[in-house]
Structure 1
């Protein structure tokens, strides 16, 4: 059997890349019987039937996987957020960051449409940028037809498998078209009545770009927290995780526990209050989650 990587999944077919060729494959029935499904990014064994058709026979162990978008074996996520149309949203960004941290996927924040900011908005945004950089996140700023974008992203994407993610309408397709002009991906304007974008991407595909692999994904607006337990949430906020080591009680949830170092850091300004509020919002969602049996 040959080995390759699934680079695209569409209409029940898996397109396996091997030695410069894409082999159109079906999945074996045994995957359905086991409740498994091959994912884009999977390394697989497959058999060929003819020149360009075959069957996926075995899925190699994954280092990680996301359900939404359905993709496996990724190194990092490029989170695309617009600063205008739609406006920058820190709670939505933090929801993305938390889930990616829980899967140990390195997040990179890419802010688009920065040319639409006025002076006051620019100052406010810079405060957020400084905050996230202080936490340890890489933040890239860009805009439509930004000639420096490739130079900024080249060292980030090189030799990495990256998932491109973010709300609809924030400029993901525009960003891809800048990186790879030959793609000519369809872009849609923001719906004025809904204040949101229309989904323009219909399937998950790994594309070779800047010396790495980049996955464009169907539009989605958020993640849920089904796989995160309340005791694990602190670890998904890097600045809370660092300071929580000084909390009096092990497993402190930073609610009403005495001598909580995290709450003290919020009061002193070492931890930003909006990040702590987002931690509490997400923690409450996890606590209110219906038990899984």
Structure 2
């Protein structure tokens, strides 16, 4: 038996990359009884009589998995947001960041379409970029039209499995095409009638880029915190974690407790008010979910 990684799942088949060769496999029938669904990114053991005839025999334990998009064993999430068209959304970015942080996946923020900024919008977007860099996130500014910033991305992919994620229409496929023109991934501009992007990627597939694997994923704009508990949410905000030891109470939620270091930093302007507002909003959503279910 051989070992490999699932790089594509389509129409009931799993395409396994092993020692530079691709094998088309089906899952064992027993997986259904065991409630195991192989995912793109899974490290597997398989048997194959030919490149077109194989069976996945075992799925190794995952270090993490995402539901939307369905992918496992991710090292890094490249969160692509546009400066405009659609407008940069800090609340949507923070939703992505919370989900990524909760899975212990390294985030990389990419702000695309920087060429479309006007003097007025540039000031706003650059203020956001400054804030996220101050928190400690890596932020790369790109433009596929001007081909700027694209080369800065390539070293981040080395020896990692990365997932490209973000709202539809922000230019995820365009960025991948700029990095690897031979991919010729289908792209679409945003729908001006709907104010959001049209979905162009229909399935998850890992693509070899440099010394790593990168997934282009279907675009989506709704994110739920179904797997995140109240006590986990504060750990998904690095600037809160940095100050939590200074709070008077262990397990401080940074909302109603006195002598809270996070609220003190907020009042001092060390934490952006919109980040804290999003945190409170997300905490309320998690509490409402628990009440509902």
TM-score range, shorter chain: over 0.9
1:143 is displaced (CA, Å) by 1.0
Aligned residues: 293
Structure 1 length-normalised TM = 0.97
Query: Structure 1 residue 234 and structure 2 residue 234: aligned?
Result: yes
**Superposition CA RMSD, Å:** 1.4
Residue pairs, 1:250-265, within 5 angstroms = 250-265=250-265
Residue pairs, 1:1-293, within 5 angstroms = 1-290=1-290
1:190 is displaced (CA, Å) by 1.2
1:292 is displaced (CA, Å) by 9.1
- Give CA-to-partner distance per residue, 1:110-160, whole Å, 9 cap, x none: 011111111121111111111100111000001123434442012111111
Structure 2 length-normalised TM = 0.97
- Aligned-partner Cα distance in 2 for 1:222–1:76: 20
1:52 is displaced (CA, Å) by 2.7
Check conservation: 2:142, 2:150, Cα contact below 8 A: no
1:276 is displaced (CA, Å) by 0.2
Determine helix, strand or coil for the equivalent of 2:218: coil
Determine helix, strand or coil for the equivalent of 2:231: helix
- Give CA-to-partner distance per residue, 1:21-48, whole Å, 9 cap, x none: 1110011111111111001111101111
Question: Structure 2: any 5+ residue segments left out of the alignment?
Answer: none
- Aligned-partner Cα distance in 2 for 1:83–1:220: 17
- Aligned-partner Cα distance in 1 for 2:114–2:130: 15
1:210 is displaced (CA, Å) by 2.1
- Aligned-partner Cα distance in 1 for 2:6–2:183: 20
- Aligned-partner Cα distance in 1 for 2:222–2:210: 27
1:223 is displaced (CA, Å) by 2.5
Question: Structure 1: any 5+ residue segments left out of the alignment?
Answer: none
Residues 51 and 106 (structure 1), Cα distance of their counterparts in 2 relative to 1, 3 Å cut: closer
